[in-house]
Amino acid sequence: MTPEDAYRDALAWFQANWDPQLPLRDWWQRLADSGWGFPTWPQQWFGKGLDHAAAKGVARARREAGAFSAPLGIATMMVAPTLMEVGTPEQQQRYLPGIANGTEVWCQLFSEPGAGSDLAGVQTRAVRDGDEWVVNGQKVWTSGGHYARFAILVARTNPEVPKHRGLSFFLIDMDQPGVDPRPLRQMTGDAEFNEVFLTDARARHQNLVGGLGDGWSVALRLLNHERESLDADADGSGIMGDLDLDAPAGTFVGADGRNSDDGTGPMSMAQGDGAAELLTTLIAGAGRRGDAVTRQRVADIHSRIRIARYAGGAMPPSAGKLASVTLMRKVRDEALELLGPAGMLSGTEAPLAGAVTEMALWTPGLSIAGGTDEIQRNILGERHLGLPAEPRVDKDLPFKDLQQPSIRG
């Protein structure tokens, strides 16, 4: 299906089915059943089997119809695609419906205070106990950990082998004794991130994804999906959060037909059509339409958006993420320059109700999320350009023989 065909068919469906008075849970279920909520997903799992270019046509149709988007977050961007690839039939049947209709929110238990960007260096342990695994350790930067129902977890199941080979990937229930999420206040004022302490928490053996010891390869698959979701022309207009599923779906749509802000507003205004519209508004407000320097900088941003749109899904995920982060920085810098001193203000009395300031404070985190910029460049150099790998003295040593910092207390 071509992008225009997808746009036409989706627009007809949204115009016929969007009802702002429908409870959010019913609207999301209707979207899931139709396949238009996640058009790139397989047809047997709530999708249409479309490519990324056609999916952008669907997103354009939804925005034009003024309809609220499908659920957005770790569950839909990362967990579902990974389960479709390597999950068991039982895992797919149990978890994909709740992800597609937004009734089950997920979080990600990957990063640790003592491992930094070295995911393979995680110390959280999982020890087999019959049909379950007992998990002990500490995770950090867990988005939504304080309200998520389930989590994906990377834990060490074998310290006797080198660090990349002793990891396993689990699906774990967050609503159980021994799971203690503690929100962390961010510089935006929000507290979306958490540190999570795991003390004798339990994961069922049937919720092991991939084989025992295959956690590294499964995690790489999932991180690729995360990076693909951060391309420079992504549709970032959805909402991640703990939403009231009984509220009318129209509650979450702004007056201009876009989804209202609840954590992802900064992303939607820093990439794709959202960035173009933001800069157009700010240029007009600053009276700078005739300024040659401003026009050149904005033309550079527009060119990057067009290139990302043309490239579609052809770029390696790491290249797409780097392009996205670079674009967002440029949008941030230009938006603040256009606002002048008013760019230092925040809150409802600031220009655009402080949305630009929030975006500026939020943007630096994207250089870390999903793997730092430096890691993305290493991936591109080693895996795509064939450059020599960085020397690693710990590559072949058993994990138990590596010196580990003590971070739990």
Q: What amino acid is encoded at 353 in this protein?
A: A
Domains of the chain: which residue ranges? 3-70, 84-225, 254-368
pLDDT at 178: 96
pLDDT per position as a tens digit, 69-105:
999 889 999 999 999 999 999 999 999 999 999 999 9
pLDDT at 158: 95
Tell me the backbone φ, ψ of residue 136, rounded to 5 degrees: -135, 135
Q: Rounded distance, CA 275 to CA 330, Å? A: 10
288 Cβ contact partners less than 8 Å away, ≥ 6 residues apart? 294, 338
Strands 132-139 and 150-156: unpaired
Of the residues 226, 228, 334, 358, only one is catalytic, namely 226
Which stretches of the chain score pLDDT less than 50? 237, 255-264, 407-409
pLDDT at 356: 87
Q: How many CB atoms lie within 10 A of CB 61?
A: 21
158 Cβ contact partners less than 8 Å away, ≥ 6 residues apart? 165, 166, 213, 399
Q: What is the dihedral of CA 53, 63, 39, 152, to 10 degrees?
A: 110
Contact by Cβ (8 Å): 155, 132: no
List the structure tokens of 190.
Answer: 């929000």
- At 231, is the secondary structure helix, strand, or coil? coil
pLDDT at 262: 35
Contact by Cβ (8 Å): 340, 291: no
395 Cβ contact partners less than 8 Å away, ≥ 6 residues apart? 162, 164
End-to-end C-alpha distance for the chain, whole angstroms: 55
List the structure tokens of 290.
Answer: 């005739």
pLDDT at 264: 40
Q: How many CB atoms lie within 10 A of CB 52?
A: 17
334 catalytic? Reply is no
Q: What amino acid is encoded at 88 in this protein?
A: T
Q: Rounded distance, CA 234 to CA 269, Å? A: 11
Q: How many residues does the chain have?
A: 409
Strands 167-173 and 150-156: antiparallel
Q: Rounded distance, CA 358 to CA 116, Å? A: 26
Q: Rounded distance, CA 164 to CA 359, Å? A: 36
Q: From start to end of 140-184, where are the E strands?
A: 150-156, 167-173, 179-184
pLDDT at 381: 92
**pTM beyond cutoff 0.85:** no
Q: What amino acid is encoded at 112 in this protein?
A: E
Residue 99: CA count within 13 A, CB half-sphere:
27
CATH architecture of the domain with residue range 84-225? Beta Barrel (2.40)
Q: How many CB atoms lie within 10 A of CB 407?
A: 13
15 Cβ contact partners less than 8 Å away, ≥ 6 residues apart? 65
Q: Rounded distance, CA 15 to CA 172, Å? A: 39
Q: Rounded distance, CA 328 to CA 207, Å? A: 37
Contact by Cβ (8 Å): 389, 380: no
Rg of the Cα atoms in the chain: 22
